[in-house]
Copies of this chain bind each other. A is one copy, B any other.
Amino acid sequence: MSGGKLTIDDIAKALGVSKTTVSRAISGKGRISQATTARVLAYIEQHKYRPSAMARGLAKQKTFNICVVWPGEEEVRDMTLLPFFQRCLLGAGQTAAGAGYDLVVSLVSGDDISNLQRIVEHHKADGVILTRILEGDRAAAYLKETGLPFVAVGSSPDPDLIQIDNDHYGACRAMTAKVLSGGAGRPILLASRDRNRVTGARRRGFEDGCRDRGIALDEESIIPYGGQEDWNSLQDTILQKGADILFCMDDAIAMDIMARCRQEKIRIPEAFQVASFYDSHNLSLVTPGVTALSFDDRRLGREAARILLEKIGGEDPSSLLLKDYQIIERESTRRL
Protein backbone atom coordinates (compact mmCIF):
# COMPACT_ATOMS: atom_id res chain seq x y z
CA MET A 1 0.00 0.00 0.00
CA SER A 2 0.93 3.69 0.00
CA GLY A 3 2.17 3.09 -3.51
CA GLY A 4 5.32 4.47 -4.96
CA LYS A 5 4.90 8.01 -3.76
CA LEU A 6 8.22 7.90 -2.02
CA THR A 7 10.84 10.12 -3.66
CA ILE A 8 14.54 10.51 -3.28
CA ASP A 9 13.88 13.77 -1.53
CA ASP A 10 11.75 12.13 1.12
CA ILE A 11 14.56 9.77 1.89
CA ALA A 12 17.05 12.60 2.10
CA LYS A 13 14.90 14.46 4.57
CA ALA A 14 14.11 11.40 6.61
CA LEU A 15 17.78 10.57 6.91
CA GLY A 16 18.93 14.13 7.34
CA VAL A 17 21.20 14.04 4.32
CA SER A 18 21.03 15.58 0.87
CA LYS A 19 19.47 14.13 -2.24
CA THR A 20 22.90 13.84 -3.74
CA THR A 21 24.03 11.52 -1.02
CA VAL A 22 21.02 9.33 -1.51
CA SER A 23 21.46 9.31 -5.23
CA ARG A 24 25.08 8.31 -4.83
CA ALA A 25 24.31 5.57 -2.38
CA ILE A 26 21.90 4.11 -4.89
CA SER A 27 24.04 4.36 -7.96
CA GLY A 28 27.31 3.65 -6.21
CA LYS A 29 28.89 6.44 -8.22
CA GLY A 30 31.03 9.08 -6.56
CA ARG A 31 32.85 8.86 -3.27
CA ILE A 32 30.63 8.07 -0.36
CA SER A 33 31.16 6.38 2.99
CA GLN A 34 30.18 2.81 3.58
CA ALA A 35 28.26 3.88 6.63
CA THR A 36 25.87 6.29 4.94
CA THR A 37 25.57 4.03 1.94
CA ALA A 38 24.41 1.25 4.19
CA ARG A 39 22.08 3.55 6.04
CA VAL A 40 20.45 4.75 2.85
CA LEU A 41 20.21 1.30 1.38
CA ALA A 42 18.65 0.02 4.55
CA TYR A 43 16.06 2.74 4.49
CA ILE A 44 15.31 2.04 0.86
CA GLU A 45 14.92 -1.63 1.53
CA GLN A 46 12.76 -0.90 4.53
CA HIS A 47 10.43 1.46 2.74
CA LYS A 48 10.53 -0.31 -0.58
CA TYR A 49 11.66 2.76 -2.43
CA ARG A 50 12.04 2.47 -6.20
CA PRO A 51 13.28 5.36 -8.31
CA SER A 52 10.94 6.82 -10.86
CA ALA A 53 11.93 5.56 -14.25
CA MET A 54 10.65 8.71 -15.89
CA ALA A 55 12.58 11.12 -13.73
CA ARG A 56 15.70 9.07 -14.10
CA GLY A 57 15.12 8.88 -17.81
CA LEU A 58 14.58 12.57 -18.16
CA ALA A 59 17.79 13.31 -16.32
CA LYS A 60 19.89 10.79 -18.17
CA GLN A 61 18.11 11.13 -21.46
CA LYS A 62 17.34 7.46 -21.56
CA THR A 63 14.11 5.52 -21.35
CA PHE A 64 15.49 2.13 -20.33
CA ASN A 65 13.04 0.69 -22.78
CA ILE A 66 13.66 -1.49 -25.78
CA CYS A 67 11.09 -1.46 -28.50
CA VAL A 68 10.29 -4.82 -30.02
CA VAL A 69 8.58 -4.65 -33.38
CA TRP A 70 6.13 -7.47 -33.63
CA PRO A 71 3.90 -8.69 -36.46
CA GLY A 72 0.59 -6.92 -36.23
CA GLU A 73 -1.30 -8.85 -38.85
CA GLU A 74 -4.55 -10.55 -38.02
CA GLU A 75 -3.20 -13.82 -39.29
CA VAL A 76 0.51 -14.42 -39.04
CA ARG A 77 0.76 -16.68 -42.04
CA ASP A 78 -0.83 -19.87 -40.78
CA MET A 79 -0.03 -18.93 -37.22
CA THR A 80 2.89 -21.22 -37.71
CA LEU A 81 5.33 -18.39 -37.17
CA LEU A 82 3.77 -17.21 -33.95
CA PRO A 83 5.74 -19.50 -31.63
CA PHE A 84 8.90 -18.19 -33.22
CA PHE A 85 7.97 -14.62 -32.50
CA GLN A 86 6.96 -15.41 -28.98
CA ARG A 87 10.20 -17.20 -28.18
CA CYS A 88 12.07 -14.35 -29.73
CA LEU A 89 10.22 -11.93 -27.50
CA LEU A 90 10.86 -14.10 -24.47
CA GLY A 91 14.57 -14.13 -25.14
CA ALA A 92 14.73 -10.41 -25.67
CA GLY A 93 12.73 -9.84 -22.51
CA GLN A 94 15.08 -11.99 -20.53
CA THR A 95 18.29 -10.17 -21.34
CA ALA A 96 16.54 -6.82 -21.33
CA ALA A 97 15.34 -7.42 -17.79
CA GLY A 98 18.81 -8.45 -16.80
CA ALA A 99 20.06 -5.06 -17.89
CA GLY A 100 17.26 -3.14 -16.24
CA TYR A 101 15.39 -2.59 -19.45
CA ASP A 102 11.76 -3.15 -20.25
CA LEU A 103 10.01 -4.06 -23.46
CA VAL A 104 7.72 -1.80 -25.43
CA VAL A 105 6.00 -3.63 -28.23
CA SER A 106 5.17 -2.00 -31.49
CA LEU A 107 2.64 -3.87 -33.57
CA VAL A 108 3.33 -3.19 -37.21
CA SER A 109 1.55 -4.88 -40.05
CA GLY A 110 3.07 -4.65 -43.47
CA ASP A 111 3.83 -1.15 -44.52
CA ASP A 112 1.97 0.65 -41.77
CA ILE A 113 4.74 1.69 -39.42
CA SER A 114 2.80 4.49 -37.79
CA ASN A 115 2.86 2.75 -34.46
CA LEU A 116 6.61 2.40 -34.55
CA GLN A 117 6.96 6.01 -35.57
CA ARG A 118 4.92 7.17 -32.62
CA ILE A 119 7.09 5.27 -30.21
CA VAL A 120 10.30 6.46 -31.75
CA GLU A 121 9.31 10.07 -32.14
CA HIS A 122 8.09 10.30 -28.61
CA HIS A 123 11.37 8.83 -27.43
CA LYS A 124 9.78 5.91 -25.71
CA ALA A 125 12.69 3.56 -26.33
CA ASP A 126 16.46 3.67 -26.53
CA GLY A 127 16.64 1.12 -29.27
CA VAL A 128 14.59 -1.20 -31.45
CA ILE A 129 14.57 -4.87 -32.28
CA LEU A 130 12.94 -5.90 -35.53
CA THR A 131 11.75 -9.46 -35.07
CA ARG A 132 11.48 -9.92 -38.78
CA ILE A 133 12.65 -8.13 -41.80
CA LEU A 134 10.62 -7.98 -44.96
CA GLU A 135 11.71 -7.15 -48.46
CA GLY A 136 12.14 -3.41 -48.74
CA ASP A 137 11.36 -3.18 -45.05
CA ARG A 138 9.87 0.21 -44.29
CA ALA A 139 10.57 -0.07 -40.59
CA ALA A 140 14.25 -0.68 -41.20
CA ALA A 141 14.45 2.18 -43.65
CA TYR A 142 12.73 4.49 -41.24
CA LEU A 143 14.92 3.55 -38.31
CA LYS A 144 18.04 4.03 -40.36
CA GLU A 145 16.83 7.50 -41.10
CA THR A 146 16.28 8.37 -37.47
CA GLY A 147 19.69 7.16 -36.38
CA LEU A 148 18.19 5.30 -33.44
CA PRO A 149 20.10 2.12 -32.55
CA PHE A 150 18.37 -0.96 -33.86
CA VAL A 151 19.03 -4.55 -34.82
CA ALA A 152 17.07 -6.97 -36.94
CA VAL A 153 16.35 -10.62 -36.44
CA GLY A 154 16.57 -12.31 -39.78
CA SER A 155 18.62 -11.71 -42.86
CA SER A 156 18.65 -8.83 -45.23
CA PRO A 157 20.80 -7.95 -48.20
CA ASP A 158 21.52 -4.61 -46.60
CA PRO A 159 25.11 -4.84 -45.34
CA ASP A 160 25.03 -1.93 -42.94
CA LEU A 161 22.20 -3.40 -40.96
CA ILE A 162 23.00 -5.24 -37.76
CA GLN A 163 21.32 -8.58 -38.16
CA ILE A 164 21.06 -11.61 -35.95
CA ASP A 165 20.03 -14.82 -37.60
CA ASN A 166 20.30 -18.56 -37.50
CA ASP A 167 22.71 -20.17 -39.87
CA HIS A 168 20.00 -21.56 -42.09
CA TYR A 169 22.42 -22.26 -44.87
CA GLY A 170 24.77 -24.36 -42.78
CA ALA A 171 21.97 -26.12 -40.97
CA CYS A 172 20.08 -27.01 -44.15
CA ARG A 173 23.23 -28.20 -45.79
CA ALA A 174 24.09 -30.43 -42.85
CA MET A 175 20.60 -31.81 -42.57
CA THR A 176 20.32 -32.46 -46.27
CA ALA A 177 23.57 -34.37 -46.25
CA LYS A 178 22.69 -36.29 -43.13
CA VAL A 179 19.25 -37.35 -44.24
CA LEU A 180 20.53 -38.32 -47.67
CA SER A 181 23.10 -40.53 -46.01
CA GLY A 182 20.19 -42.61 -44.77
CA GLY A 183 19.77 -44.31 -48.10
CA ALA A 184 17.55 -42.04 -50.14
CA GLY A 185 19.26 -40.51 -53.12
CA ARG A 186 16.75 -38.70 -55.30
CA PRO A 187 15.66 -35.58 -53.46
CA ILE A 188 13.26 -32.81 -54.36
CA LEU A 189 13.08 -29.46 -52.62
CA LEU A 190 9.65 -27.96 -52.24
CA ALA A 191 10.16 -24.22 -52.21
CA SER A 192 7.62 -21.72 -50.97
CA ARG A 193 6.53 -19.19 -53.49
CA ASP A 194 7.28 -16.11 -51.42
CA ARG A 195 10.89 -15.29 -51.81
CA ASN A 196 12.38 -13.86 -48.71
CA ARG A 197 16.01 -14.08 -47.73
CA VAL A 198 15.80 -17.12 -45.54
CA THR A 199 14.33 -19.28 -48.28
CA GLY A 200 17.33 -18.38 -50.40
CA ALA A 201 19.73 -19.57 -47.73
CA ARG A 202 17.80 -22.79 -47.30
CA ARG A 203 17.85 -23.42 -50.98
CA ARG A 204 21.59 -22.97 -51.19
CA GLY A 205 22.04 -25.19 -48.16
CA PHE A 206 20.00 -27.86 -49.86
CA GLU A 207 22.00 -27.62 -53.05
CA ASP A 208 25.33 -27.81 -51.31
CA GLY A 209 24.14 -30.59 -49.06
CA CYS A 210 23.27 -32.63 -52.14
CA ARG A 211 26.61 -31.76 -53.65
CA ASP A 212 28.28 -32.96 -50.47
CA ARG A 213 26.77 -36.37 -51.09
CA GLY A 214 27.60 -36.29 -54.75
CA ILE A 215 24.04 -35.96 -55.88
CA ALA A 216 23.39 -34.04 -59.06
CA LEU A 217 20.42 -31.72 -59.35
CA ASP A 218 18.45 -30.54 -62.33
CA GLU A 219 15.72 -28.00 -62.95
CA GLU A 220 13.08 -30.29 -61.54
CA SER A 221 14.91 -30.86 -58.28
CA ILE A 222 13.64 -27.63 -56.83
CA ILE A 223 10.02 -26.82 -57.47
CA PRO A 224 7.72 -24.16 -56.12
CA TYR A 225 4.91 -25.45 -53.97
CA GLY A 226 1.82 -23.71 -52.85
CA GLY A 227 -1.20 -25.97 -52.76
CA GLN A 228 -3.57 -28.17 -54.69
CA GLU A 229 -2.40 -27.54 -58.24
CA ASP A 230 1.24 -27.93 -57.27
CA TRP A 231 0.40 -31.14 -55.50
CA ASN A 232 -0.97 -32.66 -58.66
CA SER A 233 2.04 -31.90 -60.81
CA LEU A 234 4.30 -32.82 -57.93
CA GLN A 235 3.08 -36.38 -58.02
CA ASP A 236 3.92 -36.63 -61.71
CA THR A 237 7.38 -35.28 -61.05
CA ILE A 238 7.94 -37.75 -58.28
CA LEU A 239 7.03 -40.63 -60.54
CA GLN A 240 9.12 -39.37 -63.43
CA LYS A 241 12.20 -38.66 -61.36
CA GLY A 242 11.74 -41.61 -59.09
CA ALA A 243 12.17 -39.13 -56.23
CA ASP A 244 12.31 -40.77 -52.84
CA ILE A 245 12.64 -37.84 -50.48
CA LEU A 246 10.90 -34.51 -50.22
CA PHE A 247 12.61 -31.62 -48.45
CA CYS A 248 10.16 -28.92 -47.47
CA MET A 249 11.18 -25.29 -47.14
CA ASP A 250 9.16 -24.89 -43.97
CA ASP A 251 6.72 -26.58 -41.66
CA ALA A 252 3.66 -25.21 -43.40
CA ILE A 253 4.63 -26.94 -46.62
CA ALA A 254 5.53 -30.10 -44.76
CA MET A 255 2.18 -30.13 -42.98
CA ASP A 256 0.39 -29.63 -46.26
CA ILE A 257 2.25 -32.56 -47.79
CA MET A 258 1.48 -34.76 -44.82
CA ALA A 259 -2.19 -33.89 -44.94
CA ARG A 260 -2.48 -34.71 -48.62
CA CYS A 261 -0.58 -37.95 -48.27
CA ARG A 262 -2.86 -38.94 -45.45
CA GLN A 263 -5.90 -38.18 -47.54
CA GLU A 264 -4.66 -40.10 -50.51
CA LYS A 265 -3.37 -42.92 -48.35
CA ILE A 266 0.20 -42.44 -49.43
CA ARG A 267 2.40 -43.99 -46.79
CA ILE A 268 5.36 -42.15 -45.38
CA PRO A 269 8.22 -43.05 -45.35
CA GLU A 270 7.40 -46.06 -47.53
CA ALA A 271 6.35 -44.13 -50.64
CA PHE A 272 8.90 -41.40 -50.05
CA GLN A 273 10.52 -39.68 -47.12
CA VAL A 274 9.69 -36.18 -45.90
CA ALA A 275 11.86 -33.65 -44.08
CA SER A 276 11.30 -30.03 -43.13
CA PHE A 277 13.81 -27.21 -42.95
CA TYR A 278 11.90 -25.69 -40.08
CA ASP A 279 10.41 -27.46 -37.11
CA SER A 280 7.11 -26.84 -35.40
CA HIS A 281 5.05 -28.52 -32.76
CA ASN A 282 2.67 -29.85 -35.37
CA LEU A 283 5.42 -31.77 -37.10
CA SER A 284 5.93 -33.74 -33.92
CA LEU A 285 2.24 -34.48 -33.50
CA VAL A 286 1.41 -35.65 -36.98
CA THR A 287 1.79 -39.33 -37.88
CA PRO A 288 4.36 -40.13 -38.84
CA GLY A 289 6.41 -37.42 -37.17
CA VAL A 290 8.37 -35.31 -39.59
CA THR A 291 12.13 -34.96 -39.37
CA ALA A 292 12.98 -31.31 -39.06
CA LEU A 293 15.54 -28.67 -38.29
CA SER A 294 15.21 -26.98 -34.91
CA PHE A 295 16.72 -23.68 -33.82
CA ASP A 296 17.01 -21.92 -30.50
CA ASP A 297 14.70 -18.99 -31.11
CA ARG A 298 14.94 -17.72 -27.56
CA ARG A 299 18.64 -17.41 -27.92
CA LEU A 300 18.04 -15.44 -31.08
CA GLY A 301 16.04 -12.97 -29.03
CA ARG A 302 18.61 -12.89 -26.28
CA GLU A 303 21.47 -12.19 -28.65
CA ALA A 304 19.48 -9.55 -30.45
CA ALA A 305 18.84 -7.74 -27.19
CA ARG A 306 22.42 -8.15 -26.08
CA ILE A 307 23.79 -6.69 -29.26
CA LEU A 308 21.27 -3.88 -29.24
CA LEU A 309 22.29 -2.99 -25.70
CA GLU A 310 25.89 -2.86 -26.79
CA LYS A 311 24.91 -0.54 -29.58
CA ILE A 312 22.95 1.61 -27.18
CA GLY A 313 25.97 1.65 -24.91
CA GLY A 314 27.96 3.28 -27.66
CA GLU A 315 29.82 0.23 -28.85
CA ASP A 316 29.88 -0.82 -32.44
CA PRO A 317 28.77 -4.44 -32.59
CA SER A 318 28.41 -6.34 -35.82
CA SER A 319 25.98 -8.90 -37.15
CA LEU A 320 25.78 -12.39 -35.72
CA LEU A 321 25.06 -15.76 -37.26
CA LEU A 322 24.07 -18.41 -34.73
CA LYS A 323 25.61 -21.71 -35.66
CA ASP A 324 23.51 -23.78 -33.29
CA TYR A 325 20.82 -26.05 -34.59
CA GLN A 326 19.42 -29.49 -34.03
CA ILE A 327 18.37 -32.11 -36.50
CA ILE A 328 15.30 -33.75 -35.03
CA GLU A 329 14.96 -37.14 -36.63
CA ARG A 330 11.46 -38.54 -36.71
CA GLU A 331 9.72 -41.41 -38.47
CA SER A 332 9.21 -39.60 -41.76
CA THR A 333 12.82 -40.37 -42.69
CA ARG A 334 13.06 -43.71 -41.02
CA ARG A 335 15.25 -46.12 -42.86
CA LEU A 336 13.23 -48.97 -44.24
Contact = CB atoms under 8 A, between A and B. Distances in A.
A79 B105 CA distance: 20
A76 B86 contact: yes
Given A123-B53, A145-B1, A262-B262, A102 B79 contact: no
Interface stretch (A28-36, A54-62, A238-246): A54-62
Interface in A46-103: 48, 50-55, 57-58, 63, 65, 68, 70, 72, 74, 76, 78-79, 82-83, 86-87, 89-90, 93-94, 97, 102-103
Contacts of A282: 282
B78 A93 contact: no
B4 A121 contact: yes
From A4, A102, A281, residue with most partner B Cβ within 10 Å: A102
Contacts of A107: 89-90, 93-94, 103
Interface size class of A (residues with CB under 8 A): 35 or more
A38 interface: no
Nearest to A122: B53
A322 to B, nearest CB: 18
Interface of A: 1, 3-4, 48, 50-55, 57-58, 63, 65, 68, 70, 72, 74, 76, 78-79, 82-83, 86-87, 89-90, 93-94, 97, 102-107, 115, 118-124, 145-148, 255, 259, 262-263, 281-282, 285, 287, 298
